[in-house]
Structure 1
Amino acid sequence: MMCDLETGICGPAGEGNSEMELIDLTAPTKKIDLYYVTDPICSHCWALEPTLRKFLEEYGQYINLHTLMGGLLEKWDGFADVSNGISGPGDVAGHWREVGDHTRMPIDGSFWFEDPVTSSYIPSRVYKVVQQKDASLAPVFLRKAREAVFPFNKNISNDQLLIDIVNSIGLNGEEIVKESHLPAAQESLQEDFIMAGRLGVRGFPTIIFLNEEQKGVKVVGARPYDNYVQALKQILPEENIQPKAINTLQHVLQKEGLLFSREIEELYNLAQQDVAAFVEKELAADSYIVEEVLGEKYIQLNQ
């Protein structure tokens, strides 16, 4: 213990004794573990993207996020989803288009007739290798894989496409896709399956909120935004749960790369017809492009 004549402080030397610093007494005292169990070719997971992004933007300060691959399709041989009438690749297209039309997160799906995904384990293993290389890039890879397969109608079980996607996020695509074929990648994926099984997950998307006492709330399927907020409040009843302000559109686009109109509507509480004016107000005229796929507009920043 000492009193410093220069700083005017009595106390242990060097322990948080800067002259002036910002403090935040509103920061959450507790965090929960959120397990998001998903699959790269889960259409309802794609439909959930606008809601989940907004939830994490507003309440991410309360959350430790763990994304688990669920293993939707190992192979077509012997596969059958009787409840959805799916027994082969061609049966998926109609189901996907229905989900896309209902949610306005565009889905083409015609590739299922021509060059179908042979297994969702293939992009899932790439996800696991990316996660091991740089955990911050794993969700970026997953998003780009979903953009490729759903609106842009590409087969994400194709190695060359996966190499291109990994290259686009700044990693070595050839190296990572090669590693994804090694037994270690399948073992890592299997660990996700085991954890999902322990959590009692049987369908995707499933989001599980767990507190420090390992008590939780499970939300199955793509649900409205308020369901996730209520689940968080239920699992942290003593915490004064408050949303953060949403980042600017410029900031979100810099992070995400591409946003569909439906995503902007959800994030900023806009009607569809108000998106164009909002974008014009938020972004410099020469800083972005607007394009369209399957009748839905999307925004990208200029490179």
Structure 2
Amino acid sequence: MQCDSEQGCVLPKSQQPHSAKPSHLNAADVVFVTDPICSHCWAIEPAWRRLNCNFSFTTRYIHGGLLPSWQGFGDAGNGISGPLDVIPHWQQVAAHYQQPIDPSVWRTDPITNSYILCKAALVARQLQPHRESDFVRFMREKIFLLAINLSDEQKLLACVAEFGFDVDTFQSLLHSASISSLFLREQQEMLALGARGFPSIIFLSQFPERVVGSASYVALERALLLQNNHKVKPLQLTDEQKLLRYPSWTLKEATEVLQCANQQARELLNALNFNHSIIAQGDFWQK
């Protein structure tokens, strides 16, 4: 494993799926290869939200699986060979991208694998496809802001209940053969698309454009517009409409989306009755 801002979190060859099958992706304008515990996927949220507030396009998420277990896992580039080694890496990502992160989970109750979280995202897709990305965001807030180990199934199911899914139905699907098969297919699709790491954002057309790592908004917009996709339409939203598209915001997300100063973002969020708190040493608002 190697993680940096240019490539994101890249899987070693030994951890990549061993066979590629033709992709059976649903029709989409963009494919976003991700993992719930990927710090660079959290870091790109401000730019990704800005793109979604400025353009209308469809996205298909692939949950590829970053951490199968700690046995044999390593990120030599960042000196990561065990849970405690993740702490300085997450601190560096938080400082560089100004997205708040509480890395204490790796000290107090380490995440043991992310495969169960990828499968949880797929269960959400099965139950309510339109809420899949919302549920992944909800999990990320628990992990990055509240330092909750969601690889602990009981804590994951508590998160599921809070989000509003039926826990018994969710748990049954989580351990089903159909979700295991779907997760394997996600990994195969990831490889078929040439994506080795997280995040990888593929803008689909006759000549697909791939953006990897914690890319800037400029890079994302350029890749989207290069496709000359007639289905991609610019949006003309007011600042208030942009903020009301999402139920929660970090300060960095709001200032990036609105292209405004910190104080203006704070005033707008407060005026729209978002509840403010300080979490992971950063400003956070939620409905």
**TM-score, length-scaled by structure 1:** 0.80
Q: CA deviation at 1:94?
A: 1.0
Match of 1:235 in 2: 227
Q: CA deviation at 1:126?
A: 0.9
Task: Report the AA paired with residue 128 of structure 1.
Answer: L
Contact 1:207–1:218 (Cα < 8 Å) also in 2: yes
Q: What is the count of residue pairs matched by the alignment?
A: 261
Aligned pair partner of 1:201 in 164, 185, 195: 195
Contact 1:141–1:165 (Cα < 8 Å) also in 2: no
Match of 1:146 in 2: 140
Aligned counterparts of 1:200 and 1:85: Cα–Cα separation in 2: 26
Match of 2:277 in 1: 291
What are the residue-to-residue correspondences of 1:259-270 with 2, within 5 Å? 259-270=249-260
Contact 2:102–2:280 (Cα < 8 Å) also in 1: yes
Match of 2:236 in 1: 245
Aligned counterparts of 2:185 and 2:209: Cα–Cα separation in 1: 22
Percent sequence identity is: 33
Contact 1:109–1:153 (Cα < 8 Å) also in 2: yes
Aligned counterparts of 1:160 and 1:140: Cα–Cα separation in 2: 20
In structure 1, list runs of 5 or more residues that go unmatched: 1-30
Q: CA deviation at 1:276?
A: 2.4
In structure 2, relative to structure 1, the CA distance for the partners of 1:135 and 1:226 (3 Å cut) is same
Higher relative contact order (CA 8 A, sep 6+): 2
What are the residue-to-residue correspondences of 1:68-83 with 2, within 5 Å? 68-83=62-77
Contact 2:258–2:265 (Cα < 8 Å) also in 1: no
| 2:42 is the alignment partner of 1:42 | no
Q: CA deviation at 1:273?
A: 3.1
In structure 2, relative to structure 1, the CA distance for the partners of 1:40 and 1:240 (3 Å cut) is closer
Aligned counterparts of 2:59 and 2:239: Cα–Cα separation in 1: 22
Q: CA deviation at 1:39?
A: 0.2
Q: Secondary structure at 1:125's aligned position in 2?
A: helix
* Structure exhibiting the larger radius of gyration computed from Cα positions: 1
Contact 2:41–2:198 (Cα < 8 Å) also in 1: yes
What are the residue-to-residue correspondences of 1:204-219 with 2, within 5 Å? 204-211=198-205, 213=206, 215-219=207-211
Aligned pair partner of 1:274 in 264, 267, 283: 264
**TM-score, length-scaled by structure 2:** 0.85
Task: Report the AA paired with residue 220 of structure 2.
Answer: Y
In structure 2, list runs of 5 or more residues that go unmatched: 1-26
